[in-house]
Amino acid sequence: MSLRLATFNVENLLTRFDYTGFRNQLRQDRVLQLFDVRNEEVYQQLEAARVVAATDDTRQMTALAIADADADIICLQEVDNMAALQAFEYGYLYRMVGNGYRQKYLIEGNDSRGIDVAVMMREETRDGQPIVLNDIKSHAMVTYGDFGLFNDELAELGLHAEDKIFKRDCLELHLHIGGVPFSLYVVHLKSMGPAREGVDGRHATMPIRRAETLAVRRIMEDRFGAGHTATKNFAICGDMNDYQEWIDVIGTRRTGYRFEPRMEEKESALDVFSHDGFAENIVSRREELDRWTLYHARGPQEQRLCQLDYIWLSPALARANATRAPDIVRSGQPFRTIFPPGQEVERYPRVGWDRPKASDHCPVVMTLDLI
């Protein structure tokens, strides 16, 4: 029996407009920065028109990427609310794939912008096995003190023991797929953010993500028993906002590019999952230049390809699928993304230099034999 599982950060699937750019230019879209708009009411009209005009192309591409993933269960990040998910699934995705994702789950989490994790599931797998949800639980309210995770590093960031661990949530689902138990943990870890007091954004926010990964592991060990997780069918999916390796992209459009892998990053919040074999990052089964899910650049002096989007499998499930590797859907990437040789794909219609696009993130999808 097989299950096709995917994760995808769909980026700002929103049902609302953000007008704060009128008073805060850092949040103002670059198009409106070209015009001298001094009246707030006019600004709001222009911003709403801009978003509406851009959204249709963007969401068609998002839907195409999900359709290409063709998953039975897909874990999503950056979804505004259930209304947004319902409207997107019916208005875009259903028109492309026909057999819709009728089971949808979202619980409001902690994100200050209101973007949440969600799960969409078919009623049956592609080979006709029923997908049944037995239990779902949010862990958005868990604090550092609840799990004994508060430490000096977090205190130095201005956090307190009573603060919530997850910056979004850890959504826990327990299912039966054709009668076989399967547990799913969906996360969107703390973003890297800007540099802080001379420390780059990734390392400055590392203690927060490390606490989040420790909390995910604690939740799972509380459920199955410490030392008893390895034999279970589980997957941890989501945008981890961290990596254990990356690829430096060196060069310019004029000079050409070369690609230098930087393997085994010295420190990562994801070490909590990997260091003792608690779970396997199945994307690591792909060739080292072909594991990336996101292109990041700060001008030609800093260009990277890295993996931010993960499916972590339990040891038992990884062994049962030892000969398989996941797919990464990259056709929705903007043209500014620099592909290593041999990885080029045909982009979706109307993809732009950096927008419209399906997302800066790529869906990761894996066909699993359940045991």
**DSSP labels, 264-300:** S-S--TTHHHHTTSSSEEGGGGS-GGG---EEEESST
- List pLDDT tens digits, range 82-108: 999 999 999 999 988 887 899 999 999
pLDDT at 299: 81
Residue 83 near residue 151, CB atoms below 8 Å: no
- DSSP letter string over 157-199? TT--TTSBS-SS-EEEEEEEETTEEEEEEEEEPPP--S-BTTB
What CA–CA distance (Å, rounded) separates 40 from 55? 22
Which sign does the torsion angle of CA 357, 361, 366, 371 carry?
negative
Phi and psi, residue 174, nearest 5°? -120, 125
Give the pLDDT score at 239.
98
Dump pLDDT digits (tens) for 163-217.
999 999 999 999 999 999 999 999 999 999 887 777 888 999 999 999 999 999 9
Q: Are 231 and 172 in contact (CB under 8 A)?
A: no
* Residue 5, C-beta contacts closer than 8 angstroms, at least 6 positions apart: 71, 72, 73, 74, 75, 184, 235, 237, 311, 365, 366, 367, 368
Judged by DSSP in three states, 92 sits in helix
- Domains of the chain by start residue, with CATH: 2-369 (3.60.10.10)
Confidence of residue 341 (pLDDT cuts 50, 70, 90): very high
Distance CA 281, CA 270 (A): 10
From the list 370, 356, 361, 266, the residue with the least C-alpha distance to 314 is 370
Which candidate, 14, 155, 173, places its Cα nearest to that of 105?
A: 173
Above 90 in pLDDT, residue 12?
yes
Q: 3-class SS at 205?
A: coil
Structure confidence at residue 3 (pLDDT): 98
Q: Tell me whether residue 295 is exposed, middle or buried, using C-beta atoms within 10 angstroms of its C-beta: 0 to 12, 13 to 18, 19 or more.
A: buried
What value does the mean pLDDT take over residues 337-347?
97
pLDDT recorded at residue 194 = 80
Cα–Cα distance, 145 to 139 (Å, whole number): 14
Contact 75, 3 (CB under 8 A): no
Contacts of 196 (CB under 8 A, 6+ apart): 204, 205
- The encoded tokens of residue 57 equal 């192309």
Q: Are strands 309-313 and 280-281 parallel, antiparallel or unpaired?
A: antiparallel
N-term to C-term CA, the chain? 8
- Backbone phi, psi, residue 230, to 5°: -60, -30
Whether the link from the prior residue into 356 is cis, omega within 30° of 0, is yes
pLDDT band at 1 (very low <50, low <70, confident <90, very high): confident
Report which residue type is found at 315.
P
204 touches 262 (CB < 8 A): no
pLDDT digits (tens, 9 = 90+) for 312-326: 999 999 999 999 999
> In terms of pLDDT, which residue wins out, 302 or 3?
3
238: phi > 0 → left, psi -120 to 50 → alpha, else beta; which?
left
Token digits of residue 98:
């026909």
What's the confidence (pLDDT) of residue 198? 75
Count how many residues are written for the chain.
371
Residue in the block written with tokens 């029923």: 130
pLDDT per residue over 254-304, tens digit each? 999 999 998 766 799 999 999 999 999 999 999 999 999 999 998 888 899
Torsion of CA 334, 335, 337, 338, to 10 degrees: 160
